[in-house]
Amino acid sequence: MENITVLIVDDSSVMRKIVERSLRQAGLEIGRVLEASNGLEALAVLNQQKVNLVLCDINMPAMDGLEFVKQLPSVENAKGVPVVMITTEGSESHVVQALSAGARGYIRKPFTADQVKEHILPVLAGNL
């Protein structure tokens, strides 16, 4: 698992940087990090770029994370790309919605680098 390309989707640029830093602190060999501030931007990025992993917030303007995950199968470059939700939404119903929409994992904010590693390594192992 080296030099993976990650797309981080969050409407907060600060949170995108925190997620990226946590990935690197977790010891994951990140090659490129792409960013989008909502689901619509993320779909546009995925139409242009291949990625190995998407980390996505739920609450965002224009297109939220749940709708993004539902739209993902329509993007040729994104077929089979795992999505892990990273969000403050802690309710069980949001977890169920995200997983039933196609997400492969779920990390609640705030999180540590160890939690990121614990949730993301199994997802990547099943895809690379």
**CATH code at position 38:** 3.40.50.2300
What are the tens digits of pLDDT across the range 107-126?
Answer: 988 888 899 989 898 888 87
Question: What is the reported pTM?
Answer: 0.91
pLDDT of residue 27: 87
Buried b (16+ CB within 10 A) or exposed e, 51-63: bbbbbbbbebeeb
- Residues whose CB is less than 8 angstroms from the CB of residue 82 and which lie 6 or more positions away in sequence, other chains included: 53, 54, 104, 105, 123, 124, 126, 127
Residue ranges, the chain, pLDDT below 50: 128
Per the structure, the count of domains in the chain is: 1
Q: Which residue range(s) make up the domain with 22?
A: 4-125
pLDDT of residue 43: 96
pLDDT of residue 7: 97
pLDDT of residue 128: 46
